[in-house]
Structure 1
């Protein structure tokens, strides 16, 4: 599972609202909602976000390990 908590912290540090961020990279409201639920979004969105803030992917997304189920 991935978490966008580092991105939300970055927005707070930059004094930027989620809506301003959404508009800055041309992202739809549904994609922002997905991010709010820690759901997958396209690499294009992540690329635009990294470019906007001049950061690496690890600065906006973190991996949260889950127990692997045996199939």
Structure 2
């Protein structure tokens, strides 16, 4: 299962914020912001800080995407 933060980036655009603004407002490390940018998993604590700063719910910033199942075709 993959994680997508597209909702977070759209929310930042709606709030006229940049990644550096998010980092400053939440107190997150740049390493965490980089992980978010790369679509890598982050801790629940990071997500909670973002939600608190943006006054939103975790479902508003993150989405889980299922990987397509590999089909093994037997003939």
TM-score w.r.t. the length of structure 2 is: 0.85
Higher gyration radius (CA): 2
Distance (whole Å) between structure 2 residues aligned to residue 17 and residue 33 of structure 1: 13
Q: Pick the structure with more helix per residue.
A: 1
Shift of 1:9: 0.3
Unpaired runs of at least 5, structure 1? none
Unpaired runs of at least 5, structure 2? 71-75
Match of 1:20 in 2: 21
Match of 1:55 in 2: 56
SS of aligned partner of 2:17: coil
Distance (whole Å) between structure 1 residues aligned to residue 30 and residue 66 of structure 2: 27
Q: How many residue pairs were aligned? A: 70
Shift of 1:68: 4.5
RMSD across aligned C-alpha pairs, in angstroms?
1.4
Moved over 2 A (4+): none
